[in-house]
Amino acid sequence: MEKHVAVIGSGVMGHGIAQLFALAGFRVSLYDLQEEFLLKARASIEHSLSLLVAEGVIADQSRVAALEHIVLTTDLQAAVSSAEIITEAIPEVVELKWELFEKLEHYAKPDAIIASNTSTFSIARLIEKATTPQRFIITHFFNPAQLVPLVEVVKHEKTALEVIQKTMQLMEEIGKCPVLLKKDVPGFIANRLQTALVREAFHLLAEGVADAAQIDTVMKNGIGFRWAFVGPIETADFGGLDTWKRVMDNLAPELNGSTKAPAIMEERVAEGNLGTKTGAGIYSYTDTAVSEKLRVRDEQFIRLGKMKRS
């Protein structure tokens, strides 16, 4: 019997999650408020699948089958009524999520898992108003969801063991690398690590140590090159904990310890310069096609994924 999942929200994360399940053979109901959002999502999925074909990751028949598995709908009840797992990928506004969850608890099967892709809220916050908290869980995918292997899985003490086990199994079934957190902490694991590094990168930029391109080059060709296969804790072990103790003792007092977003980031946001979505951020994108930069990024992610899987 064909397995059925529902993805609520067809934006940047939602369409990627839908693609993952569809490629794994699931029937996917992709829901959004307006048909135009869904059509845009389908175009993005078609583009992403075509890249996978071009890179030899999937055959063309798999692309066709995946597209056939995805049903677009603006009917929430129809989307979720027979789904085994429902993944919420709507904007990070807790009141909107509460409103959605109330409907999902009413429309969904009693044993359906309700998962959130939140990267902001704790699961305790998400289930504050839930009447069936035992079936709620967080599955935090990373952008682009269809290409980045990691999924952080966050449970609550009320989350049923069966839900946890089934969720981990499902993530592996769709080709992801799930990590189950032992504690629910703000930012989970990855965003805490990212925020610490981004904070220091913007501090170096503000201090004039190097320009943005040079700082990004250090990350891409140094730290990031190594971290694709050797994590930070392994790096410390490989380098020697005695060596890293001295590094930490010497540098930790020198690192930026600010507790809010960098000033330059606040300035750009106030100006409306948000990055690729507006044509300018720290970098300017007026002389380059953002879609082309994203295509190149995705091709490189696909190739790295193939290398890591081998």
Q: Which residues of 101-134 are buried (b: 16+ CB within 10 A; e: fewer)?
A: beebbebbeeebbbbbbbbbbbbeebbeebebbe
97 is in an annotated binding site: yes
44 in catalytic set: no
Q: Spot the catalytic one: 62, 81, 122, 191.
A: 191
CA distance 184 to 177: 19
Q: Beta strand 113-116 with 177-180: parallel, antiparallel or unpaired?
A: unpaired
119 in catalytic set: yes
Q: Spot the catalytic one: 62, 81, 119, 256.
A: 119
140 in catalytic set: yes
Q: Spot the catalytic one: 4, 15, 69, 140.
A: 140
**Separation of first and last alpha carbons in the chain:** 31
Phi, psi of 55, rounded to the nearest 5 degrees: -90, 0
13 is in an annotated binding site: yes
40 is in an annotated binding site: no
* Torsion of Cα atoms, 9 then 14 then 15 then 20, to 10°: -140
7 is in an annotated binding site: no
* Half-sphere exposure at residue 133, Cβ-oriented, CA atoms within 13 angstroms: 13
50 in catalytic set: no
Q: In terms of Cα–Cα distance, which of 81, 76, 83 is closest to 34?
A: 76
Q: Which structure tokens are listed for 34?
A: 């307006």
92 is in an annotated binding site: yes
Q: Which residues of 243-257 are buried (b: 16+ CB within 10 A; e: fewer)?
A: ebeeeeeeeeeeeee
257 is in an annotated binding site: no
32 is in an annotated binding site: yes
CA distance 77 to 35: 16
Residue ranges at the known binding site for NAD(+) = 9-14, 32, 92, 97, 119, 143, 277
Looking at the annotation, which residues are catalytic? Answer: 119, 140, 152, 191
